[in-house]
Chains A and B, each alone.
Chain A
């Protein structure tokens, strides 16, 4: 399983890399949305994409919108991983095409549960 981690903070990427490897994912990284799109062109599809909101060059919301325009990426699972916790921001992210939303700070256990929800483990919503 492959995960793309998009965050302008190298320490945050390091934490997420460690968590996702714990969950047996092969990880790839990008520091902003534009770099993440390039990663897509280089590597191909990912099973899970973790996206920060506030990034330079191209922010998380713009990345989600851009990715969802690509037909071949229609089914990739996108999760916002962010300090943003306003109701309207969450609505905005889900409306733009994000599948899930996890608010920082969180533990490995929370991330694992959220990914289980993402990958079809939750047939309740």
Chain B
């Protein structure tokens, strides 16, 4: 792909969602944008990109941005954070929220929904007492098409093969044709909404747990810092922030204290 076209897409993505696509991502463009080019009636990806240049933001611009930034996810991804939630975080919250009997979770950058659904499955499996509580799980992403898929809660064989114990598959899904549909009692636990982490956030409920895993790595330091600062206004003072395994708040000008459960590090807002 000509450098100028990659440069255009790179700048488009950077200005819209502050994600930096390095030169190593150039190879992705052909793979990710070819289906869009075909759908829109362009012969090549180059034609598609040329059609965007010099124009104000349109749906097609957003389709291109989404295609270049959609991340893969899987059920119980990395597994250990879910064990920390099960053995430490949820029990602590149940103690601390005994009076209000409410727990609120925000899964930022939830992609196709496997993370929030995994959390809900874990709660259903191991915390029957929470059936009588108000559990609010808000899952957000910038990409509309992945949100639509996430809301449907329908997954391919490949997707349910990844990370989902077979016992949980047969308990919480049903087979429909060649795909697997998550059961309604789990699906309706999650509210999906479109939110751009670097844009203005709509009014958000205060969260006891924030899952922001494997998304901040794509942002430059200043943007990461701003997002984490904004997050402090949402996260309750005794709340819990989970990021990706390779991510940390250390060296960022934000006030969070790390805590660990076995090999998992999560973060608590520092006392003000």
A interface residues (Cβ-Cβ under 8 A, vs B): 85-87, 90-91, 93-94, 98-103, 105-106, 109-110, 113-114, 116-117, 121-125
Q: How far is the CA of A106 from the CA of B170 in the complex (A)?
A: 19
**Complex: A121 Cα to B163 Cα, angstroms:** 11
**Cβ–Cβ contact B170 & A102, under 8 A:** no
Residues on the B chain within 8 Å of A117, using CB: 79, 163, 165
Stretch from B41-49, B94-102, B104-112, B154-162 contacting the other chain: B154-162
Inter-chain contacts of B125 with A (CB < 8 A): 124-125
In the assembled complex, the CB of A64 is this many whole angstroms from the nearest CB of chain B, namely: 13
- Secondary structure at chain B's binding surface: helix, strand, loop or mixed? helix
Question: In the complex, what residues of B have CB within 8 A of residue A122's CB?
Answer: 76, 79, 165
B86: Cβ under 8 A from any A Cβ: yes
Once the chains are docked, how many angstroms separate the CA of A117 from the CA of B175?
A: 22
Total interface residues in chain B, CB < 8 Å? 25
In angstroms, Cα B75 to Cα A114, docked, is: 12
Is the CB–CB distance between B163 and A125 below 8 Å?
no
B167 adjacent to chain A (CB < 8 Å): yes
Partner-A contacts on B (CB < 8 A): 74, 76, 79, 82-83, 86-87, 118, 121-122, 125-126, 157-158, 161-163, 165-170, 174-175
Instruction: Give the residues in chain B near A116, CB-CB below 8 Å.
Output: 79
Q: Which of A85, A93, A124 contacts B122 (CB 8 A)?
A: A124
B76 with A124: CB separation less than 8 A: yes
Residue of B nearest to A113 (CB): B163
With both chains docked as a complex, state the minimum distance between the C-beta of B236 and any C-beta of chain A, in angstroms: 24
Contact of B175 among A87, A98, A113, A123 (CB under 8 A): A87
Of the candidates A94, A106, A116, A124, the one having the most CB atoms from chain B within 10 angstroms of its own CB is A124
A124-B170 contact in complex given A103-B161, A110-B162, C-beta closer than 8 Å: no
**B75 CB, nearest partner CB in chain A, Å:** 9
